[in-house]
Amino acid sequence: ERNESLDSFFWGIIDNQPIINNFKNPEEIPTKTKLSEQISKTLKKMGFKFVGPTIIYSFMEASGMVNDHLVGCYSRN
């Protein structure tokens, strides 16, 4: 058992700074990354279920940990 919140766990991995990607085409956006694979493995060791690397990457995008809005997108900033 850990003495930190899930929020602290996730944001601590990226030093509390979102990852800003600079993709120009939708095809460039990955469905998973090495980081999401590492997080997935860690969470599985902690007993979490249904935390594959694709789900984790989607969570990272949805929670603002990763900004994959395309360069020029009105939602990027």
Task: Give CA–CA dist 56/75, Å, rounded.
Answer: 22
Mean pLDDT of the chain, nearest integer: 95
Give the chain's radius of gyration (CA, Å): 13
Note if the pTM is more than 0.75: yes
Task: Give CA–CA dist 29/26, Å, rounded.
Answer: 6
CB 10 within 8 A of CB 65: yes
CB 9 within 8 A of CB 2: yes
Q: Write the single-letter amino acid at 58.
A: S
Q: Is 39 among the annotated ligand-binding positions? A: no
Q: Express each pLDDT in 2-34 by its tens digit.
A: 788 999 999 999 999 999 999 999 999 999 999
Q: Is 73 among the annotated ligand-binding positions? A: yes
